[in-house]
Amino acid sequence: MPGGLLEGLRVLDLGIWRPVPYATQLLAEMGADVIKIEPPGGDPMRVFPQLFDVLNAGKRSMVVDLRSDDGPTEVLGLAAGADAFLEGFRPGVADRLGVGYGAVAGVNPAIVYCSISGYGEDGPLAQVPGHDVNYQAYAGVLAPRGGRPVTATVPIGDLGAGMAAAMATVAACFRSRASGEGERIDIGIADVLATWTGAVDRLKPEGAPQAMDGMPGYGIYVTADDGFITLGVLAEEHFWTGLCEALGLTDLLGVALHERVVRKPELDEVVRGAISKLTLAEALERLEHHDVPVAPVLDRGQMLEHPHFRSRGTVTEDARPGHAGEPVMGHPARLTFHPARRLDPAPALDERHKEAWSPR
């Protein structure tokens, strides 16, 4: 069997859970040699072995404690001989651990360095915690036409961001191989979802996906003024603690993860009851103050006007005659040195059939 399209491409994976591992799995399946750098104890996704196997098949694993004295040095040694480096920390964490873009590019100027985070490396929401349901809420995909929001049955944010990261990484590696120029890629999960909605809604689906079930404190909740918020509390104890403190549910502070899973319907009803007594503004203020993953449910129009997406260029304005001022979705990947360009409209049938590839 011939090698894959990416045979010889060396990739470092410093991601856990799903987005970065999915991106590097796509690369691995095309032939890339992927080394997965795991923290002591391993990727938390290992507790779900079937899913972990799908996301990490064909990779090599190496345990490195980035908080140790020699951990960052070990990773930088590997990065010196790599083609691509993908990480999924909250913005700023990789720098604090000694494996940020500056440090990696310092040992390998041709490196393609890709970061995947919830809301991207900059913008008003950059440091806000979240999980897939929160990113869907901000991106306008839960209620694109307004009305009652509906969650997707798969983590479309994690998967979409992983695919966008893989695509951008391959494109940047192509350039790097040809010119020796590296690239800094910034993938915001919410950005990717926002670009999927399009600026104009012309589609009316036949039905709506089923709401997914999960942990207490994860899903869509109704406020006293009939607003909608999403909570993204999963297994993290600090998020559960913050949720309880924000809502005054101090009697639930000591409920352990296993018990939360077993008592999910009961506990989630308590959370819903507490939120139903707060207005949308009050709920957001309290939950954000306690660093709980929370997001208002925006429709597409609200998303298009949100300052976060405007500041990042996810939403721009069309400059074409007859369309000036209309919202236009930008590229989902932020490329620092070779930004994505705005493409011309699609050609008419057979319009460019005489344009041939030049021989190499």
- The 3-class SS string of 40-108 reads CCCCHHHHCHHHHHHHHCCCEEEECCCCCCCHHHHHHHHHCCCCEEEECCCCCHHHHCCCCHHHHHHHC
Distance CA 114, CA 19 (A): 12
Q: Quick check: pTM over 0.85? A: no
pLDDT digits over 158-211, tens only? 999 999 999 999 999 999 999 999 999 999 999 999 999 876 554 444 444 433
One domain for residues 68 and 172 = yes
- Sign (positive/negative) of CA torsion 199, 22, 205, 280? negative
One domain for residues 242 and 180 = no
* 201 lies in some domain: no
One domain for residues 222 and 191 = no
One domain for residues 37 and 157 = yes
One domain for residues 103 and 26 = yes
Summarize the confidence of residues 230-252 as an average pLDDT.
96
* 342 lies in some domain: no
pLDDT of residue 344: 62
Place of tokens 């306690």: 290
pLDDT of residue 318: 75
pLDDT digits over 113-134, tens only? 999 999 999 999 999 999 999 9
Q: pLDDT grade, residue 213 (50/70/90)? A: very low
* 351 lies in some domain: no
One domain for residues 191 and 228 = no
* 356 lies in some domain: no
CATH number, domain at 59?
Answer: 3.40.50.10540
* 359 lies in some domain: no
Write the burial class of residue 254 (CB in 10 Å: 0-12 exposed, 13-18 middle, 19+ buried).
exposed
One domain for residues 185 and 245 = no
Q: Which of 274, 300, 326 is the last residue of a domain?
A: 300
One domain for residues 15 and 95 = yes
Distance CA 49, CA 151 (A): 25
One domain for residues 142 and 263 = no
Judged against a pLDDT cut of 70, whether residue 216 lies above it is answered with yes
* 206 lies in some domain: no
pLDDT of residue 205: 41
Distance CA 333, CA 169 (A): 10
Q: Which of 195, 210, 235 is the last residue of a domain?
A: 195
Which of 16, 13, 45 minimizes the C-alpha distance to 26?
13
Q: Which of 285, 300, 315 is the last residue of a domain?
A: 300
The region of weakest confidence among 13-22, 194-203, 306-315 is 194-203
Q: Which domain holds residue 182?
A: 10-195
The region of weakest confidence among 190-199, 239-248, 341-350, 351-360 is 351-360
Does 349 or 134 have the greater pLDDT score? 134
One domain for residues 138 and 57 = yes
The region of weakest confidence among 153-162, 226-235, 296-305, 309-318 is 309-318
One domain for residues 74 and 17 = yes
As for how many domains the chain has, the answer is 2
One domain for residues 190 and 97 = yes
* 311 lies in some domain: no
pLDDT of residue 357: 35
* 264 lies in some domain: yes
Judged against a pLDDT cut of 90, whether residue 354 lies above it is answered with no
CATH number, domain at 227?
Answer: 3.30.1540.10
- Provide the pairing of β-strand 33-38 with 60-63: parallel
Query: Looking at 202-346, which runs of residues are DSSP E strands?
Result: 218-222, 228-232, 294-296, 315-317, 327-329, 333-335
Evaluate whether 219 touches 148 at the Cβ level (below 8 Å): no
